[in-house]
């Protein structure tokens, strides 16, 4: 069993001459992987320019959000950063390429900041959330914080497309985390 709280999920595709079919979410299958949250909102974003970067975002308790992210058009590099107070992996990150072609998904639990960068133009991303959007609980940290050191796959000399909000997020050192540590350190994606 995979005990890391962030999980890379590769749903099986069943193909024939017509194309393929896949089951992207199932309560029993996810429960077997240790994911037992209830999703209550689905989001869908379109990022037109390549190297659009969204993140690093979270919602604070009591409105925290577990997320299940997938790319349904194009390719993204998706990242989760441990922001749980007293976690031995605080400030560490994991990332994976999610694409329409590979069908992979990333489960990001409450207590992790989330972000992604598009690797080509016209990327569409969908994600399920375990709570609805709550502006009063909206938070984030800098995408380029050197203390986190995410190896974003952005070509040298390229400035990512950022929202005004993401340009002014605080550094991790200036963030007072409200997220408790649950005893499960961040592990490698498997």
Query: 126: which residues sit within 8 A by CB, 6+ positions away?
Result: 42, 43, 44, 45, 69, 70, 72
Beta-bridge partner residues of 59 = 138
| Cα distance from N-terminal residue to C-terminal residue, the chain | 11
Sign, CA dihedral 62-134-83-33, equals: positive
Catalytic residue among 3, 90, 127, 181, which? 127
Q: How far apart are CA 163 and CA 54, in angstroms?
A: 7
Catalytic residue among 57, 90, 104, 114, which? 57
Q: Is 90 a catalytic residue?
A: no
In three-state secondary structure terms, 135 is helix
Query: 94: which residues sit within 8 A by CB, 6+ positions away?
Result: 6, 79, 80, 186, 188, 189
Beta-bridge partner residues of 71 = 125
Q: Is 114 a catalytic residue?
A: no
DSSP symbols for 59-99: E-TTS---EEEEEEESEEEEEEEE--TT-TTTT-EEEEEEE
Provide the annotated active-site residues: 57, 127
């Amino acid at each position: 069993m995979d005990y890391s709280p962030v999980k890379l999920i590769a749903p099986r595709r069943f193909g024939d001459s017509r194309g393929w079919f896949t089951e992207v979410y199932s309560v029993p299958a996810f429960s077997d992987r240790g994911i037992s949250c209830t999703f209550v909102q689905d989001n869908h974003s379109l990022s037109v320019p390549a190297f659009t970067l969204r993140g690093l975002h979270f919602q604070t308790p009591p409105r925290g959000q577990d997320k299940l992210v997938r790319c349904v058009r194009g390719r993204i590099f998706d990242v989760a950063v441990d922001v749980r107070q007293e976690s031995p992996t605080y400030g560490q990150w994991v990332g994976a390429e999610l694409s329409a072609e590979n069908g992979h998904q990333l489960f990001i639990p409450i207590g992790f900041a989330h972000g992604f960068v598009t690797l080509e133009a016209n990327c569409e991303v969908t994600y399920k959330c375990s709570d609805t959007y709550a502006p009063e609980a909206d938070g984030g940290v800098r995408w380029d914080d050197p203390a986190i050191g995410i190896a974003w796959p952005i070509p040298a000399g390229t400035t990512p497309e950022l929202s005004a909000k993401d340009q002014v997020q605080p550094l991790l050192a200036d963030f007072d985390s409200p997220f408790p540590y649950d005893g499960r350190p961040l592990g490698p994606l498997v």
